[in-house]
Structure 1
Amino acid sequence: MSSPTYPLPEIEDILQHNPDWLDEAIDTPSVSRLTGVPICTLATWRCRGGGPPFLKLGTAVRYRRRTVLRWLAECEKAQNQRKRTPQ
């Protein structure tokens, strides 16, 4: 049985009620849910210098939500440019 789907709120609506939402530091599981990238892949990328930029606060790893969304947009843009380039 599939889980129910709910309409996602627009970013403008989120920011109206929580203006700091984009600048919140989120943990690795939250980034995994946001991007669909497995936690272990995010950890590998951190070690190898790839993936979204992150903050290391003591032993805690955090990502700014704004930075993750920007990174996703850059990945999408790069992928679309590669598709348009003739082989």
Structure 2
Amino acid sequence: MDRKWINFLQKISDDKRLNVWHIAIIVAIIQIAIAQNDIDRIKISRSKLMKKSHIKTIPTYHKYFRELQLFGYTKYTPSYHPQGRSYIEIFY
């Protein structure tokens, strides 16, 4: 695993604001990033992130996903095109 991911995981594990749902989303993002072999701009979909993070409800997903942005861990760039992909950037 890339050293950046290891440092990032250490950083989030030390952050008392984060709970199990935040961590689940982050781990899902990391899994997708590794599979895409891309750490800068990670192509995502809500359904894939929800499935990988084991979050069953959209309100729960949106709450914790939004908080990750507010806490400065991620930046979400949505695609409004039906065939387009949304992106996430991780801030180490």
TM range (shorter): 0.3 to 0.5
Q: Which has the larger radius of gyration?
A: 1
